[in-house]
Structure 1
Amino acid sequence: MPYPARGHINPMMNLCKQLVLKSPSIIVTFVVTEEWLGIIGEQTKPANIRFATIPNVIPSERVRGKDFPGFLEAISTKMEAPFEELLDRLKHPVSAIVADTYLVWAVEVGNRRNIPVASLMTMSATVFSVLHHLELLVQNGHFPVELSERGDELVDYIPGVPAMRLADLPAFLPGNGLKVKPLSWKCVLLVPKAQWLLFTCVHELEPQVFDTLRAEFSIPIYPIGPSIPYLELRGNASGSSDDIFNGADYFHWLDSQPIHSVLYISFGSFYSVSDAQMDEIFCGVRDSGVRCLWVTRGNTARFKDGCGDMGFVVPWCDQLKVLCHSSIGGFWTHCGWNSTLEGVFAGVPMLTLPIIFYQFLNCKQIVEDWKVGWRIKQDVRSKDLVTRGEISELLKRFMDQENNEGLKLRMRAKELQEACQRAIVEGGSTQNYLDAFITDISRSQS
């Protein structure tokens, strides 16, 4: 049962594919709202993953951006009853429920019915740990706090988590995230009532955080990531008929570009920067002369005109396959967790421009902890725009293959990529945790 948003549905589906590949006897009932079935129902999946639906949370979930607090409230109050009714209609007895951590009612449903629940956290272990230790922020006078005045103060007391500035935590501070903060905190507080805690991350990316959480929790903690569509990668990211938009084949264009010469730009599918900042970004990219593949929502005509022969603009692409293409030399990202994992898996250096919530902490991990990226905006507290001139110069340096700073980024990105590759092969950490989870489910039924 995923939270009804693409950034949660996709990693849940990728986990289910991992499970049935490991154990073909598993039957997965993948529960989505009626609207989401219409969006993803035709996607290719193994035969033993079956869709089931519950009614839409609100009349059209895609308008949630206009009333995000109302959307959160509906998820918390309107999904539980139809989900429980669905459990009564299923032909097969339910051995376990895998539910998104942000479905605050899911663990309680499982406990009422004596069905073991695995809570799947679709954000980083670092974000989870900050939420889990939010009381420490309160005790140290860092919550609530006015970010503009104290952003440079260090938060170095969260167990297992590298030191960060308050400016890395705007999602957890006043004026940001609406109802997200109390809901996130409540969801994390309920996790110990589940039977397992799963993460979409790879153990090797956050080892100290995982070790610390295991010492604090009595339930098993399994990082089974990266929960991205790496199982669907074929060959070396060759294109297909699905990769053609309006008669234009973006993989054909990528094939014609020099190795590591293209900057891939995508700011996610939901939130966006201001119109004024987007104008500066557009002009900065154009003035830099850097080759780019740009995924942009809405009217793409202006972006196409500005990029000319140096760029390719599409409304959607197969992101992981693109990132693994040999022509890609960098990824300009909003730091969504799935995009972050895909960038790491592909071994691509990143430019970071977080927009909201946990993305700021992901940005900090990319730039400071993993050292595989640069910030577009150096001070997240500043209300000033990043100018086209600043963007243009940064892009030139970032994509310069002879730049020593860039060389260090690429070497480090390659190291993290290799760590991910080791984790997903037989005997690697991810495979071992998946085996342990499947064994646990089997034992719970005996």
Structure 2
Amino acid sequence: MITQNKKKDMIRPHVVVIPYPAQGHVIPLMSFSRYLAKQGILITFVNTEFNHNRIVRSLEKSSHDDYYVGDGINLVSIPDGLEDSPEERNIPGKLSESVLHFMPNKVEELIERMIADSSGGTIISCVVADLSLGWAIEVAVKFGIRRAAFCPAAAASMVLGFSIQKLIDDGLIDSDGTPSVNKTIQLSPGMPMMETDKFVWVCLKNKESQRNIFQLMLQNNESIESTDWLLCNSVYELETAALRLYPQILPIGPVGWAHSLEEDSISTSLGSFLPQDRDCLDWLDQQIPGSVIYVAFGSFGVMVNAQLEELAIGLELTKRPVLWVTGSGDQQPINVGSDQVKVVRWAPQREVLCCGAIGCFVSHCGWNSTLEGAQNGIPFLCIPYYADQFINKAYICDVWKIGLGFERDEQGVVPRLEVKKKIDEIMRDGGVYKHRALKIKEIMMRGVAKDGVSYENLDKFVSWIKSQVN
């Protein structure tokens, strides 16, 4: 383990943070960790070796062991049992199998070593585990360590997971999570509508992944019973219905926005698997305010070529400037040669969405992107693909009404003229969607203000952590 500042660290509260090994989970938990570190709390952040190496490379540094960042964040790693080759890692179900069966023992071994290495010095005050890793809560229980579960998704996604047994009892899903009927349901008035064939765990093309993810969720429901805190990266006023249904869920979001105190580009990119292309910020500064279409679908390339082509041509038909983030996939927009289109592999998204040039966000509706767009008053155009993205799209389009979905053709593809039509509608001068989006931004600002629910929940959690060393 890292030994620098050891005497200082011995009197600091110490939190071990364990994210699910995916980009959309690592980033919010890293933002949360940066906030805790700013409050004087020592952080040990546990990634898989594969993701740890990607993060270190994205920071343009190298390390084979632990990695100490700034004043209080120590990046450590555990194996995930998978080969580094893309062929191995792209096999359906491999990652979920590793999370379910391989990683628990490695995390337990790590914490056991940390306790042995402390030699009566720095103790672990708390384990903060991704809600998707309920077994990590059980590991903390085994060692007598206090624990908190952190949900990087919407509270509505948590409520859906907590409702699994009722869904089985009502005949909506079978014992492995497969929908028994195609039906649209609402878990509580005010919550988004959900389609049974688009539940978070449903993987229609990969039953093995579905079984693993569903098994994790069942285990999580049991593990949550022994957690001290159940934290969620959400805002009370945006998910009032879900949070009233399960008041033990404490919203602390959006993490990484008003809570974050980072001053430089290295700290803002910490947790990213890919190097950020910051040149796009200079390009945005040269554009007319509110004119740019921002296109980003997260870190995975999920779009089929036919859809990629229709989207690219539709964007070109709008004759508006476009900033397109391709992510880690090999796909490229068709019209990359256009002067109107700036293409980057990965962008500093929070800073991009703060830029006045952005007029709308064409998004896969991951929860991080949903919060980051909403907190900057940006209207959305939604193309969800899997997991919780359909719930988030329902929030955007049906509950908050700050965006639009696309109509698909018989092949399930959004045609180019539909792309142009919806973009023209959402970016119309004086548009109702922009007005509503700014109202949502105001709501989120109140949540993180000093008398806001998120601020108060965070303050209570930090005070509780610090009390462990008294």
2:292 is equivalent to residue 277 of structure 1: no
In structure 2, C-alpha distance between the alignment counterparts of 1:415 and 1:267, rounded to whole Å: 25
Per the alignment, do residues 284 and 301 of structure 1 end up closer, same or farther by CA in structure 2, a change over 3 Å counting?
Answer: closer
Per the alignment, do residues 174 and 59 of structure 1 end up closer, same or farther by CA in structure 2, a change over 3 Å counting?
Answer: closer
> 2:418 corresponds to which residue?
390
Q: SS at the partner of 1:303?
A: coil
In structure 1, C-alpha distance between the alignment counterparts of 2:262 and 2:448, rounded to whole Å: 13
> 1:178 corresponds to which residue?
210
Q: Is the 8 Å Cα contact of residues 350 and 372 (structure 2) preserved in structure 1?
A: yes
Q: CA deviation at 1:170?
A: 4.3
In structure 2, C-alpha distance between the alignment counterparts of 1:163 and 1:396, rounded to whole Å: 26
> 2:193 corresponds to which residue?
164
Q: SS at the partner of 2:46?
A: strand
Of residues 376, 380, 390 in structure 1, which corresponds to 2:406? 376
Per the alignment, do residues 253 and 174 of structure 1 end up closer, same or farther by CA in structure 2, a change over 3 Å counting?
Answer: closer
| Aligned pairs for 1:31-42 within 5 A | 31-41=46-56
Of residues 133, 143, 147 in structure 2, which corresponds to 1:103? 133
Q: CA deviation at 1:135?
A: 2.5
> 1:255 corresponds to which residue?
285
Q: CA deviation at 1:181?
A: 2.9
Per the alignment, do residues 401 and 181 of structure 1 end up closer, same or farther by CA in structure 2, a change over 3 Å counting?
Answer: farther
Q: CA deviation at 1:424?
A: 2.1
2:364 is equivalent to residue 322 of structure 1: no
Q: Is the 8 Å Cα contact of residues 192 and 398 (structure 2) preserved in structure 1?
A: no
Q: Which moved more, 1:253-262 or 1:267-276?
A: 267-276
In structure 2, C-alpha distance between the alignment counterparts of 1:63 and 1:344, rounded to whole Å: 36
**1:89-137 superposed Cα distances (whole Å, 9 cap, x missing partner):** 3232111100111113111111111111111111110011011112332
Q: Which amino acid aligns with 1:359?
A: Q
Q: Is the 8 Å Cα contact of residues 17 and 45 (structure 1) preserved in structure 2?
A: no
Per the alignment, do residues 198 and 85 of structure 1 end up closer, same or farther by CA in structure 2, a change over 3 Å counting?
Answer: same
**1:251-294 superposed Cα distances (whole Å, 9 cap, x missing partner):** 22211111101110001112412111111111111122122111
Q: SS at the partner of 1:41?
A: helix
User: Pairwise CA RMSD of aligned residues?
Assistant: 3.0
In structure 1, C-alpha distance between the alignment counterparts of 2:275 and 2:154, rounded to whole Å: 30
Quick one: percent identity of the two aligned structures? 29
2:207 is equivalent to residue 207 of structure 1: no
Per the alignment, do residues 127 and 161 of structure 1 end up closer, same or farther by CA in structure 2, a change over 3 Å counting?
Answer: farther
Q: SS at the partner of 1:141?
A: coil
> 1:14 corresponds to which residue?
31
In structure 1, C-alpha distance between the alignment counterparts of 2:87 and 2:261, rounded to whole Å: 30
Q: CA deviation at 1:36?
A: 2.1
Q: Which moved more, 1:286-295 or 1:260-269?
A: 286-295
Q: Is the 8 Å Cα contact of residues 108 and 139 (structure 2) preserved in structure 1?
A: yes
In structure 2, C-alpha distance between the alignment counterparts of 1:210 and 1:64, rounded to whole Å: 39
> 1:411 corresponds to which residue?
435
Of residues 375, 387, 395 in structure 2, which corresponds to 1:357? 387
> 1:191 corresponds to which residue?
224
- The structure with the largest helix share of the pair is 1
Q: Is the 8 Å Cα contact of residues 147 and 229 (structure 2) preserved in structure 1?
A: yes
> 1:298 corresponds to which residue?
330
Q: Which amino acid aligns with 1:77?
A: H
Q: CA deviation at 1:400?
A: 2.1
Q: SS at the partner of 2:339?
A: helix
In structure 1, C-alpha distance between the alignment counterparts of 2:440 and 2:448, rounded to whole Å: 13
In structure 1, C-alpha distance between the alignment counterparts of 2:70 and 2:451, rounded to whole Å: 24
In structure 2, C-alpha distance between the alignment counterparts of 1:301 and 1:170, rounded to whole Å: 30
In structure 1, C-alpha distance between the alignment counterparts of 2:351 and 2:330, rounded to whole Å: 23
Where in structure 1 are there 5+ consecutive unaligned residues?
Answer: none
Per the alignment, do residues 75 and 62 of structure 1 end up closer, same or farther by CA in structure 2, a change over 3 Å counting?
Answer: farther
> 2:455 corresponds to which residue?
431
Per the alignment, do residues 213 and 257 of structure 1 end up closer, same or farther by CA in structure 2, a change over 3 Å counting?
Answer: same
Where in structure 2 are there 5+ consecutive unaligned residues?
Answer: 1-17, 60-67
Q: CA deviation at 1:49?
A: 1.2
> 2:429 corresponds to which residue?
401
In structure 2, C-alpha distance between the alignment counterparts of 1:423 and 1:55, rounded to whole Å: 38
Per the alignment, do residues 53 and 339 of structure 1 end up closer, same or farther by CA in structure 2, a change over 3 Å counting?
Answer: same
Q: Is the 8 Å Cα contact of residues 233 and 321 (structure 1) preserved in structure 2?
A: no
Per the alignment, do residues 412 and 321 of structure 1 end up closer, same or farther by CA in structure 2, a change over 3 Å counting?
Answer: same
Q: SS at the partner of 2:21?
A: coil
Per the alignment, do residues 116 and 378 of structure 1 end up closer, same or farther by CA in structure 2, a change over 3 Å counting?
Answer: farther
Of residues 17, 20, 25 in structure 2, which corresponds to 1:3? 20
Q: Is the 8 Å Cα contact of residues 126 and 161 (structure 1) preserved in structure 2?
A: no
**1:290-334 superposed Cα distances (whole Å, 9 cap, x missing partner):** 2211111425474312xx122211111101100110010100000
Q: Which amino acid aligns with 1:169?
A: K
| Aligned pairs for 1:46-61 within 5 A | 46-60=70-84
Q: SS at the partner of 1:178?
A: helix
* TM-score, with length taken from structure 2: 0.82
In structure 1, C-alpha distance between the alignment counterparts of 2:87 and 2:124, rounded to whole Å: 33
Q: Is the 8 Å Cα contact of residues 332 and 350 (structure 1) preserved in structure 2?
A: yes
Q: CA deviation at 1:207?
A: 1.8
Alignment length (residue pairs): 422
Q: CA deviation at 1:178?
A: 2.4
Q: Is the 8 Å Cα contact of residues 317 and 420 (structure 2) preserved in structure 1?
A: yes
Of residues 76, 79, 102 in structure 1, which corresponds to 2:103? 79
Q: Is the 8 Å Cα contact of residues 123 and 199 (structure 1) preserved in structure 2?
A: yes
Per the alignment, do residues 14 and 101 of structure 1 end up closer, same or farther by CA in structure 2, a change over 3 Å counting?
Answer: same
In structure 2, C-alpha distance between the alignment counterparts of 1:383 and 1:131, rounded to whole Å: 31
**1:26-55 superposed Cα distances (whole Å, 9 cap, x missing partner):** 111111122222222375954111122212
Q: Which amino acid aligns with 2:233?
A: T
